[in-house]
Amino acid sequence: MYFKLAWRNMWRSRRRTLITVSSIFFAVIFAILMRVAIIGLFDKLISDTVSLSSGYIQVHHSGFWENRSVDSTFEESPKLTALLDHETAVTAWTPRLESFGLASSGDRTKGIMVVGIDPEKENKVSNLSKKIVAGKYLDENDRGIILAEGLALYLKLKVNDTVVLIGQGYEGNMASGKYAVKGIAKIGIPEMNKGMAWLSIAAARNFLSTGARYTSISILINNQNNLDGLKKSIISKTKGEHYEVMTWKEMIPELDQLFQAKMAQNVIMSGVLYLVIAFGIFGTILMMLNERLHEFGILIAIGMKKSLLAVVVVLEMVLMSVAGVVLGSVCIYPLVLYYHLHPIRLTGDMGKSSELYNIEPVMPFSTNLSNFIVQGYVVLLIAVVLSLYAIFKIYKIKAIAAINS
């Protein structure tokens, strides 16, 4: 009966209901947009960074991460390969053979990171082929090289030009070679775009004289909530084989610290937004209660209990709040999806500021449903708590004064 009364009262004054629902509708939209924008920006930053460097989880030889030396490599392991292939939390994985070296062309030389890759597996982790802006992607036994766009510009190289690589090979061997530029890749992270090059794993092994060895295996996962659990699982299943398993948070702590700092900043900004939302919703509630004061006075005068009246009014507010939250979440999703697929490109001072932090100046929106649920839940909770003011207001009503208002 209470719900029936509340439902009928909602539609008795469509204008009042529309105003109340609209205030909650727009509050939900603003809260969701702010959240998905900041989460989307950092999800992309983390994804772009770890997919091209460490992976969400990396397996390497014990001690490798401290010195990043090509001497700290490990041989191919069928057991490890089978483990990663059958692990449900692993989306993709790729072996890499990494080393620092000098790239030279004419009178220009630059220190770079040379990465030997399995082209097919690497593409599943980092989508490197989609980042090619000139030339072609590598084949399995390719003798060519892919240069990052910023590095190619610095060395004044184009597709089919030749670059000379010099570095430290395995067990003290001298590493050197000439490679034709097969492709140029544009990397969103400015620092990486200035100093990375990729060879096929076969060419990298020949360059570094390592034989069938890797420096690391980078792993892509389907859910970051599985990060620590997967790490423990791999450690337990490879115990005694001299592997070290690390997460991206351990390998790139500065990125994790930046993310945590921005999330703390976002909490403060969200708090301010929620405060503004609360005042907006409370103003709407006050308007509704004052507009219906005469009605409440008559109902109380003819014998309706204040407790029953309070319950019905609160249920009205709850129903309108739910309607506003659901409509806001549903209506904003297509816009969020559009800007997830077509990210906003940051220009001007904001774009320059992003590049200073090695962040690609784009803002894709996050489509993670938890952002919609959490923001909707918070706004709904604010609306429901504020609607309890109606109980206080109704219990203070004097029937005669309300009727004459």
The DSSP string of 252-313 is: -HHHHHHHHHHHHHHHHHHHHHHHHHHHHHHHHHHHHHHHTHHHHHHHHHTT--HHHHHHHH
Instruction: Determine the pLDDT at residue 360.
Output: 67
**What is d(CA 208, CA 171) in angstroms, rounded to the nearest whole number?**
9
Residue 132's DSSP bridge partners are 185
* Region of 169 on the Ramachandran plot (φ > 0 left; ψ -120 to 50 alpha; else beta): beta
Instruction: Determine the pLDDT at residue 2.
Output: 66
- Range with the largest mean pLDDT of 42-46, 82-86, 348-352: 82-86
What is the bridge-based pairing of β-strands 162-168 and 216-221?
Answer: unpaired
CA distances, 248 to each of 40, 57, 112, 162, 336 (Å): 18, 6, 21, 34, 27
Neighbours of 220 (CB within 10 A): 18
Residue 57's DSSP bridge partners are 219, 247
Give pTM, 2 decimals: 0.74
- Is 325's pLDDT higher than 80? yes
CB 52 within 8 A of CB 358: no
**What is d(CA 320, CA 6) in angstroms, rounded to the nearest whole number?**
10
Which of 271, 309, 330 is CA-nearest to residue 392?
A: 309
DSSP H stretches of helix in 302-368: 306-341, 348-356
To 10 degrees, what angle do helices 306-341 and 2-12 make? 70
134 vs 270: which has the higher pLDDT? 134
9 vs 179: which has the higher pLDDT? 179
- Range with the largest mean pLDDT of 259-263, 323-327, 352-356, 394-398: 323-327
* pLDDT tens-place string over residues 333-378: 999 999 888 888 877 766 666 665 556 677 888 888 888 888 888 8
Above pLDDT 70, what percent of the chain? Answer: 95
CB 208 within 8 A of CB 175: yes
CB 160 within 8 A of CB 181: yes
**What is d(CA 385, CA 391) in angstroms, rounded to the nearest whole number?**
11
**What is d(CA 319, CA 22) in angstroms, rounded to the nearest whole number?**
13
Burial grade of 82 (CB within 10 A; 0-12, 13-18, 19 or more): exposed
* pLDDT tens-place string over residues 139-159: 888 899 999 999 999 999 999
